[in-house]
Amino acid sequence: MKWKWTALILTLTFFAAFVRVGCGQEKLVIKIKYDKPDPHFTVAQIAYVGSAVFDLGSTWHKTSQPGFREGNPVLGQDKWRQGLIIGGVTAFTLWGARHIHKQGHRKLAKGLLWAATALHTGAAAYNLRLERKY
């Protein structure tokens, strides 16, 4: 008896979450809410996360060498702090891009992710080009 109620509740939850019932004048219309996956948006997200990791890795690589320091005062010199700040900014940016994407502004969301990817990649390239000044 318990499993019957569980199955009924799960079925109704699925129906309420994924199916929207609209009544037309003459017939009952069932529309399934399903967003097509956007492979370009997925690639933009992966590229953005990869560029953020590349930026953080290049920062840690250079600051581990003698004579180099992190120039951004917000990030500081502590690797944990740098990781938390860059990780938090990355997570917030991804959340914002997904929110914009779900609102229907797909091109804007992809453009923002690609712009942020370019910034992180540029920062990582700058980090790797630095030379000691003695």
Do 105 and 59 share a structural domain? yes
Q: Which domain holds residue 109?
A: 39-129
What are the strands, taking DSSP E only, across 1-134? 19-23, 28-32
- The answer as to whether 116 is a domain residue is yes
* CA–CA dist 27, 22 (Å, integer): 9
Digit-by-digit pLDDT tens for the chain (134 residues) are: 445 555 555 555 555 545 555 544 555 555 555 566 788 999 999 999 999 999 998 888 888 888 787 777 777 777 888 888 899 999 999 999 999 998 888 899 999 999 999 999 999 898 888 776 65
pTM across the whole model: 0.69
Do 106 and 49 share a structural domain? yes
* Structure token pair of residue 51: 């560029």
- The answer as to whether 134 is a domain residue is no
Domain count, the chain: 2
